[in-house]
Chains A and B, each alone.
Chain A
Amino acid sequence: METELVIRFLIDLAPWIAAYLVISLSLNLEYGFTGIPNFGKVLCVSGGAFIVGAMPGQIIAWIYRLGEGMDYFDNHAQIMSRVNDVLANNILLGVLMLVLSLVAASLFGAALGYISSIPAIRLREEYLAMTLLAMGEILILIGDNYKGFIGGTLGVFVPSFLAAVPQTLRGFVMVAIIIVIAMAVYIFVHVLTSSPYGRLLRAIRDNEDLAVSLGRDVSSVRREVIVLAGALAGLAGALLALNSGAVNARNFSRANHTFIPWVMVLVGGAGNNTGTAVGVILFIIVSRLIDVSKRELQAFLPFDVVWLTPILLSVSLLIVMFYRPQGILPEKRLETLRPPKAQSPATSREK
């Protein structure tokens, strides 16, 4: 009984940990390794989620002519149940659409990253930070106001891509897919940051002038990183959408999708992917425990307990910044192969 509860708890948490791991890894790639202060993470995350909300359902409805003469958003529930009926009989279509959605979300995230980096990429970091933050919420505001994108204030459902899988297994399969994607991203980011390219990123972060003097085009490398991190953040947004099964612009915010990933990266240890993972797991478990113990706490407080979370978070981040700025797991010195034993300069000069 006890173990079953714990397993249940972990299965509930796993997709959140996975999605936030991908967001935080992409932020770690930007800030931890390259030193780009991306204060607009929410842009690419919301972009990825919105694409999953907007695209596959409409494509399926269009192919099978499910919504003839009806507005996709006005008759959303009706059309979506027809879409899910189609998907229930066609597992291939479901898988295809799932893959297509993930790819589209990444591409859209990459495009948003590229666009948001244009104005300030060549300027000092505070300009970049201000522009990215200002760009961050734009998609949310448009998605919330403009009905033709993701249904405006009502939001949209995400098609049940795995409708052909038996009901009892569906949840597990989806969670498994999300976890596998997150682990693949972790391995990818780890390999990338340990490669020569990763060393280039650190060089740019630590000494821009040095990187320039070695013939590197710093702004275009920065842009590459923002685009790549945008693609990963878009993918993470898609994972969030798949996990919740619906997309609503109001569920995305500067607090939840920019600030919290920053807390995770900084608390875990910037420039260390394992540290980021530790930060993500720690944060998600602690915040869920607060949620669970909410009812006990509520009796003593004259206000909603949820508002304690921002206070707790910001205070703990400030404490980390003051007393352990390197985070729980600090960045490790890069292990490179020992260079072959060189002849001592003295002997070489003798020759």
Chain B
Amino acid sequence: MIDPAIVNTLVFCGIASLSSVGLTLTYLTTRVPNFAHGSFITVGAYVAVYTAQILKRSPYEVIWASALLGGLLAVTQYKLVLSKLRRRQATPTLQMIATLTIAFFIFGVMSIFADYFSRLYRIRTNYIALRSWDFEVASIPGVMVLSLTTVSALTILLYLFLNKTRLGIAMRASIENPALAEVLGIDVDKMYTLAWFLSGSLGGLAGMMYSMWLPVTTTSGDEFLPTVFASSILGGLSNIFGSLAGGLVVGAANSLIPYAAAQLGFVELIQFRPVIPLVIMSAILLTKPQGIISLRLGPRGRY
């Protein structure tokens, strides 16, 4: 049996890095942090919860649905609200509030579904963890395998996508210089939509992972948001691979520091766990706001 602390760390790292890569992707397109990013996590998690509870099937079978729904939600948010607000010359602050508003809209919708399904099927829809639905490979929990594979696959695929495919290069061009990219015949809006879809589906995937290990509520994603912010800021907020690494660091700190504190006998300190991402975030912003990690990957480096 593997020490739960290790699983915990890996799962936290997986969720944090998937989500922060998504957040950074959308930040690069609109230059506005998406405060509704947590909602993609919540939605992805609830797809898994309802699959297990209502359809009585393993959430692993519908992992694509978590990602797809998260992606569609993100595209809807971008198309229906953000790109329209931008066309109306809304200030960055107003755009930020719009994303916060969307987060509350999705919270309301998710709460209605949770309430409706709990009445209709007589199931619990709050504080549900799906650990019992997980499988084990040689006494390693599936969620750990999932986390390891998704994070490493994400790193490789993102690298290949952004550096080796025409689509990825077009996306990077649209992000770096939208006007120039447009002149070259790239449909910038389509590229941004694609970036939002990727962002949302990574969030949905992170949510599915979340549900397999941690109890899910309608505010799960929103509660995870400070961790995601800390990860992205650690990576410099505009650096995709930086935020991936930032997610790994913050995720590890989030689970290893309380664990170490408990091992050393400072059990009381666990209550102050929510401070960890904030301390990391504040330290970075005060000392090196451009992000501590400036990994140079590929010919163009920055992404």
Contact = CB atoms under 8 A, between A and B. Distances in A.
Interface stretch (A89-97, A219-227, A237-245, A312-320): A312-320
B189 interface: no
A188 to B, nearest CB: 25
A315 B198 CA distance: 26
A: interface residue count bin: 35 or more
Contacts of B35: 39, 129, 133
Contact of B92 (A125, A133, A259, A302): A125
A28 B302 CA distance: 38
Contacts of A266: 97
B32 interface: yes
Given A308-B108, A314-B101, A134 B88 contact: no
Contact of A118 (B271, B272, B286, B289): B286
A134 B226 contact: yes
Given A119-B282, A142-B274, A303-B119, A259 B112 contact: no
Secondary structure dominating the interface of A: helix
Contacts of A133: 35, 225-226, 229
B281 A134 contact: yes
Contacts of B90: 321, 325
Interface in A110-144: 118-120, 123, 125-127, 129-131, 133-135, 137-138, 141-142
Interface string A254-295: 110001001000100000000000000000000000000000
Given A310-B107, A314-B101, A318-B81, A303 B116 contact: yes
Given A133-B225, A308-B108, A325-B94, A138 B281 contact: no
A172 interface: no
Contact of B271 (A126, A142, A318): A142
B159 interface: no
Nearest to B222: A254
B54 to A, nearest CB: 15
B33 interface: yes
Interface of B: 27, 31-33, 35, 81, 84-85, 88, 90, 92-94, 96-98, 100-102, 104-105, 107-109, 111-112, 115-116, 119-120, 222-223, 225-226, 229-230, 233, 237, 271-272, 274-275, 277-278, 281-282, 285-286, 289
27 contacts: A37-B96, A119-B286, A123-B285, A126-B33, A126-B92, A127-B289, A130-B229, A131-B285, A133-B35, A137-B223, A138-B274, A145-B271, A146-B272, A255-B107, A259-B100, A259-B101, A259-B104, A303-B119, A304-B115, A308-B112, A309-B108, A310-B105, A311-B108, A314-B105, A321-B90, A322-B84, A322-B88
